[in-house]
Chain A
Amino acid sequence: MIRVAAVGDVHMDQDVVGRFRPALDRLPEQADVLLLAGDLTRHGTESEARCVAAEFGGLGVPVVAVLGNHDHHCDQVPQVVKVLTDAGIAVLEGDSTVVDTPGGALGIAGAKGFGGGFAGRCASEFGEPEMKAFVRTTSVTAEQLGAALRELDCDTRVALTHYAPVPDTLAGEPPEIYPFLGSYLLGQAIDSAPTALAVHGHAHAGTERGTTPGGVRVRNVAHPVIKQAYSVFHLG
């Protein structure tokens, strides 16, 4: 059995430092790895990234993250990634990592993802350059996520995104904003490999559980959804 802890949308800044730490100090008793599903900061500044590093660094288990839309806001992504990486937090974007656990090799493929919507009601790569660029961004990130998942050499695969791969876990959000919350292309990428679990954040008013069309279990781990420091999943 592999024990996976996950949380997203912690939106760290000085005012939040220390809130998660009492729970995180117990995390190595409960999990083999911690996944952070994006929106780690409020505005994506280097100083906010240092708050993330202080809170989620040095936990005693590997920590693997993707960034979210908030982490891009101030255009300081390289600085944010460096602060997190220096603190021992692996940051994925269209690539993967393998963590050795007592239950076997856990492969994690991650990407922030992007929007576009879901089957039958999705945006198309057509029309204005801005519209084509929007949909193309999602296509590219989904292709990279799928390739990263398929190329993993491990016992158990997990997909980590910020945006949602299915509409199931958005239930509770206004349907009008679903195209800004995720894309079916991410689900299709996840279904292209034998994935055991997909976790995402972003949808604060969504719900915890869903499945892809291919039957992969999806969990929305946005902090306001799970209402605890992190959720733990036992795989296998």
Chain B
Amino acid sequence: MIDEYTEAAVQRLLTEHGGLAEQGIKVVRRERVLVLCGEVESRQRRDEILRLVHESFPDVPLSVDIGVTRANAPTEAEELP
């Protein structure tokens, strides 16, 4: 069972841990698993989130759905007459 205090602690860890500083990750408490979803700027950051959250909360089952934001050039502009 994952309680609200754990959810809050994970949310704050994501922002306040010196190795993470991520404010854009959504933490969703499900019945048997804590889901982390959102986007980060590199695969290393996603891996580090998983590592540090698991290290701090070893008994919390995690489901991680974090992508790396695409950085391609735009294919079209927005016209604002």
* A50 interface residue (CB < 8 Å to B): no
Bound form: Cα–Cα A3–B77 in Å: 9
Residues on A with beta carbons closer than 8 Å to the beta carbon of B45:
15
Given A3-B77, A19-B42, also A43-B72 (CB < 8 A): no
Closest residue of chain A to B48 (Cβ to Cβ) is A15
Q: Are B26 and A15 in contact (CB under 8 A)?
A: no
Q: From residue B67, how far is it (CB to closest CB) to chain A in Å?
A: 9
Beta-carbon contact of A228 and B38 below 8 Å: no
A200, CB-defined interface residue at 8 Å: no
Q: Is B58 an interface residue (CB 8 A)?
A: no
Cβ proximity bits A26-53 to B, threshold 8 Å, 1 near / 0 not: 1100100000000000110000000000
A224 near B38: Cβ-Cβ < 8 Å? yes
Partner among A70, A196, A227 whose Cβ is within 8 Å of the Cβ of B69? A227
Given contacts A42-B21, A73-B21, A205-B24, is CB(A23)–CB(B73) below 8 Å? yes
Known: A15-B44, A224-B38. A232 touches B77 (CB 8 A): yes
- CB-CB under 8 A for A22 and B81, given A16-B42, A204-B23: no
Contact of A23 among B24, B38, B72, B77 (CB under 8 A): B72
Instruction: Say yes or no: B73 contacts A234, CB within 8 Å.
Output: no
A-facing mask of B21-36, CB < 8 A → 1, else 0? 1011010000000000
* B72 engages A70 (CB within 8 Å): no
- Contacting pair B81 A236 (CB below 8 A): yes
Q: State the CA gap A217–B72 with chains docked (Å).
A: 24
Contact yes or no, A30 B42, CB < 8 A: no
- Is there contact, CB below 8 Å, between B74 and A232? yes
Q: Which residues of chain B have C-beta atoms less than 8 A from A162's C-beta? A: none
Partner of A224, one of B18, B21, B24, B42: B24
Q: Which residues of B contact A234 (CB under 8 A)?
A: 77-80
Q: Which residues of B contact A23 (CB under 8 A)?
A: 71-73
A-B contact pairs, 14 of them (CB 8 A): A3-B77, A12-B41, A22-B73, A23-B72, A27-B73, A70-B23, A204-B24, A205-B26, A223-B41, A224-B69, A228-B71, A231-B78, A232-B78, A233-B77
Task: Contacts A22-B73, A228-B72 known; list 9 others, CB within 8 Å.
Answer: A16-B41, A23-B72, A26-B73, A204-B23, A204-B24, A224-B24, A229-B73, A230-B73, A234-B80
